[in-house]
Structure 1
Amino acid sequence: MAQSPPDVQSAPRENISASESVTVHQRAHLSIQTVIKQVETFPVLLQTELQNQLGILSGLSLKLNQGIFQIATFGFVSRGKSAVLNALFAEPIFPVGPLNGETQWPRSVRWSPEIAKGLSDLQIELIDTPGLDEIEGQGRAQMAQEIAQAADLILFIIAGPPTALELEALKALRQSGRPLLIVVNKADLYPDLDAARVYERLAVPLQQVLTPQDILLTSAAPAPVEIRVEWPDGRTTNDWETPPANIEPLRSALLQLIQREGRTLLVLNTLLQVQSVERDIAEHVQTYEAQSGKACIGQYARLKAALIAVCPLSFLDVTIGLLADLLLIGTLVKLYRLPTHRHQVNQLWGQILLSLASLVVVEMSTPTLSNWVSHISLGFLPWVGTGLLQAGVSLYGAQRVGKQTQAYLINGYTWSPLGASTLIQDILKQLQPQMVLYRLRQELSAQLE
């Protein structure tokens, strides 16, 4: 069970200092611009295939620069999602009614609470979504996942103790890797319900990333209560009165969370989406250059094998093998147009050394130059056999180096100095225990791997 963080009232402000936060923000923006510029170096046909990815990157850059912090609400029908948002706005912004499923499509509205001190650099956007259990559930499920992936914070609205279906929906939303708060609406109908009891109903994986402080009880539209009215003439009558909405716990928790780590949440979520786009771009490059890459590897591997097969000197074999592998790597880097970095280079040197070591072992197990000369009198059969063995090892080594180079270029694309994975890892190292993101660090680290 996860340890509960300190009370948010006493928690310090975001532990990433203002200067560091600005630096992270700037690096995230540079990361997006770097990817866009790299795509511009690709062949025109490949650039055309990547127009959708470029559009996503442009949108992420705009969101980051404008500081748009998005909060998405999810839940089943008749739980009061729209009512909760209307209570936060203190006016009927989102449609509500006696029929289930009043919200048919996602709708977003900017929220500018007057008490939001210290949030001048962020624009809060609240997103209302259709019920997760409405008709056309498969399409709605896909839509929900897309919205969850884009949101910086998720509010899951329930009405009373969570049902089995709601717990399954919570588990699915957790796959987005976004921070999540549980809002228990209509709490006025359950006077004995508290956050601790709701927390106990959650599965262990959810308990590890949530605490009772992340479960907020509200009454966005309390049910009317019967009251007794005493008249001046002594008569008494009964009437119905609607209590005011009890939304302050949620409002206060949201503003404190955004003030404490809203900027970090925004930057991290943006980078997670950039990372997804980078991986998609790398897969497109791999597919586009598949035939050219295969031909390049085959050409260099055959050339390396042929030269080593006819070369009688061991030290020249090793030199030829080294140069051939380096030329192959350089040609593939130029072909794929993807950046390399120190970690990739170190891994490639390991593959080159492994290829050379295999060749050296073959060289040491075959006759020396003097023995080779003595074998001339016996015919060319021993020499041909030795050459073929060396050629085979060289061919395999070059193919392995080529394939590993392709893999490192594709898989390492997000790990360049300004790559999304690199920046995400830097942010995760700076998280402190009182932050909501701190409880997600292991999950996010696993996504990087």
Structure 2
Amino acid sequence: MSGDSLSGIAAPLNRWRGQLQLSGREQALLGPELRGLDKQLERFKTGTLRLAVFGRVGVGKSSLLNALLGEEKFRTDVAHGCTRKQATAPWPHQIPGLGPLLLVDTPGIDEIAAPARQRLATKLASGSDLILLVLNADLSSPELEALEVLRRSGKPLFLVANGADRWTPQQRAELGDSIQRRAGKELQLIWVAAAPRRAELLSDGRVRSKALAPEVEPLKIQLLELLQRQGQLLLTVNSLHRAETFSRRLLEQRLQQRQQAAQGLIGRFATLKAAGVAINPLAMLDLAGSAAADGALVLQLCELYGLRLHSPQTKKLLQHIGQNSALMGGVQWGLQALLGVLKQFLLLAAPASAGLSLAPAAPVALAQVALAVHGTRRTGRETTKQLLLAAHRGPSRPAALLRRLRQLEPSANNWLSQQAPWSPSPLP
């Protein structure tokens, strides 16, 4: 990723963060997410990239990291399960355009319940730029669950099969086929031997296990090549994704906080418009009054959420209001025509039907009222949705910067394709 492309993303992203204003309640509710975002943006600024290992207890995660480092930085034990919390160590390789490279060790995933396992996988993915899922056999259920969470994060992911020294070439081929069939052919599987050992017969007849040199060079070469080519892009994608995730959470929180007030506001405008339609005998005035009421509702909702509509959203909403008004007017004209026919029929029937010619007016008025209420509520829900989408996708916001990044660096789509586009939860 070129320096110009990076500066074109970094500057507006930092500006968005500087202009981010949270209420006291929002700071209390979203404090951990905000701190995580700030840590990510600081790493983006310094070029600090994190490579994390993930997997079950005893698969050799710590041994693999020690083998990549070439020294014993992470604790290992024959009893397994030594890693109780995340641990980090710098990987002494200089990548142009990047700062420190950090290797991250994590606890085993099979000693915790499924919900906690998913939370751990989500937290790990959000705080890492590159992930290694370490295996020492075929994929287990906990590993498949974690793999699905990691895949949805959109982070680059390698499958690392540890223990190459314990399998024959044919066994490795069969096991590799089974792993990739279950995990997906698009994920690359790399065989390593992080801490190989060989049985050795001593002169006194005893057998001892002798440690051999680790066999991790293929993995090391691929990791460093990837970081050379796309390390900056990785940091940029992950920083934007972290910022966009926080933007979603903030907007959803604001929607929830103002939901009751928005529903009350929409209800009042629906009542006002219904009353006007019911008592007004002129169809053209009904149409004008309905459009004016819906337009005022849009402005009131903008003020309630403290947001402004950009021109594309404004145009879309005005079209929506016009469609609602046209629908109401068409139905109203049709009902009035039917009312005229009924009136003529009743007048011709007999003078004894005096007063009955007005009977159809009541159901017509009720239908008009129901249509007006439905149109206003629909307008209110659509306005709320478009306001939040405008706030989420507006210029210099993370979602817009992600779209720009996709255009500048098409290879970023390989990581972003798993992430579904956001749409705010509709008002009930």
Aligned to 1:19: 4
Does the CA contact (< 8 Å) of 2:40 and 2:127 recur in 1? Answer: no
Q: How far did 1:154 drift?
A: 0.8
Q: Assess if the C-alpha contact under 8 Å between 1:279 and 1:413 holds in 2.
A: no
Q: Tell me the TM-score normalised to structure 2 length.
A: 0.82
After superposition, residues 154-173 of structure 1 pair within 5 angstroms as 154-159=131-136, 162=139, 166-167=143-144, 169-173=146-150
Which residue does the alignment assign to 1:268?
Answer: 237
CA distance in 1, matches of 2:271, 2:323: 18
Structure-1 residue corresponding to 2:392: 414
Preserved contact between residue 57 and residue 81 of structure 2 (Cα < 8 Å): yes
Task: Indicate how the Cα distance of structure 1 residues 167 and 307 shifts in structure 2: closer, same or farther if over 3 A, else same.
Answer: closer
Of the three residues 322, 329, 338, the one matched with 1:360 is 329
Query: Aligned-pair distance for 1:94?
Result: 0.8
CA deviation string 1:110-163 (max 9, x = no partner): 3232xx341x43332211011112366754553233112322111011235555
TM-score by length of 1: 0.79
Range moving further from structure 2, 332-341 or 290-299: 332-341
Q: Counterparts of 1:205 and 1:442 in 2: how far apart (Å)?
A: 20
Number of the residue aligned with 1:334: 303
Once the two structures are superposed, what CA deviation does each residue of 1:23-67 show, in whole Å capped at 9, x if it has no partner?
Answer: 123333334334x23x3xx5x545544444433333332232222
Task: For 1:263 and 1:195, locate their aligned partners in 2 and report how far apart those are by CA, in whole Å.
Answer: 34
Structure 1 position 28 matched with structure 2 position 7? no
**Deviation per CA, 1:360-410, whole angstroms, max 9, x where unpaired?**
113322448xx8xx99x9697666665444333222211110122223334
- In structure 1, what is the equivalent of residue 67 of structure 2? 87
Which residue of the partner structure matches residue 122 of structure 1? 99
Matches within 5 A, 1:141-290: 141-159=118-136, 162=139, 166-167=143-144, 169-192=146-169, 199-202=176-179, 206-210=183-187, 214-224=188-198, 226=200, 242-290=211-259
* Contact kept in structure 2, 1:332 and 1:406, CA below 8 Å: yes
Structure-1 separation of matches of 2:200 and 2:368: 94
Number of corresponding residues: 408
Partner of 1:443: 418
Whether contact under 8 Å (1:160, 1:187) holds in the other structure is no
Equivalent residue in structure 2 for 1:428, among 406, 412, 422: 406
Task: Tell me if structure 1 keeps the 8 A contact 2:162–2:191.
Answer: yes
SS in 2 for 1:209: coil
Q: Matches of 1:22 and 1:199 in 2, distance apart? A: 42
Point out where structure 2 has 5 or more consecutive residues left out of the alignment: 345-353, 424-428
Higher relative contact order (CA 8 A, sep 6+): 1
**Alpha-carbon offset, residue 199 of structure 1:** 4.6
Identity %: 27
Q: Indicate the larger mover: 48-57 or 311-320.
A: 48-57
1:411 offset after TM fit, Å? 5.0
* Farther off after superposition, 339-348 or 99-108: 339-348
Distance apart, 1:225 and its partner CA: 5.6
Tell me the distance in 2 between the aligned counterparts of 1:326 and 1:25. Answer: 38
- Alpha-carbon separation, structure 2, partners of 1:323 and 1:315: 12
Q: Which residue of 2 aligns with 1:234?
A: none
8 A contact 2:52–2:103 mirrored in 1: yes
Q: Does 1:321 align with 2:290?
A: yes
Unaligned runs of 5+ in 1: 1-15, 230-236
CA distance in 1, matches of 2:207, 2:249: 65
State the AA in 1 paired with 2:90.
R
RMSD: 3.4
Call closer, same or farther: CA 1:45–1:166 in 2, change over 3 Å.
closer
Residue 45 of structure 2 aligns with an amino acid whose one-letter code is N
Determine if contact 1:87/1:247 at 8 Å carries over to the other structure: yes
In structure 2, the CA distance between the partners of 1:336 and 1:204, relative to structure 1 (3 Å rule), is farther
- Pairing of 1:129-144 with structure 2 (within 5 A): 129-134=106-111, 139-144=116-121
**Structure-1 separation of matches of 2:179 and 2:192:** 19
- Secondary structure (helix, strand or coil) at the match of 2:49 reads strand
Secondary structure, counterpart of 2:184 in structure 1: helix
Q: CA deviation at 1:241?
A: 5.4
Contact 1:298–1:399 (CA under 8 A) maintained in structure 2: yes
Match of 2:348 in 1: none
CA distance in 1, matches of 2:407, 2:173: 30
Q: Distance in 2 between matches of 1:164 and 1:304?
A: 57
- Displacement after TM superposition at 1:325 (Å): 0.8
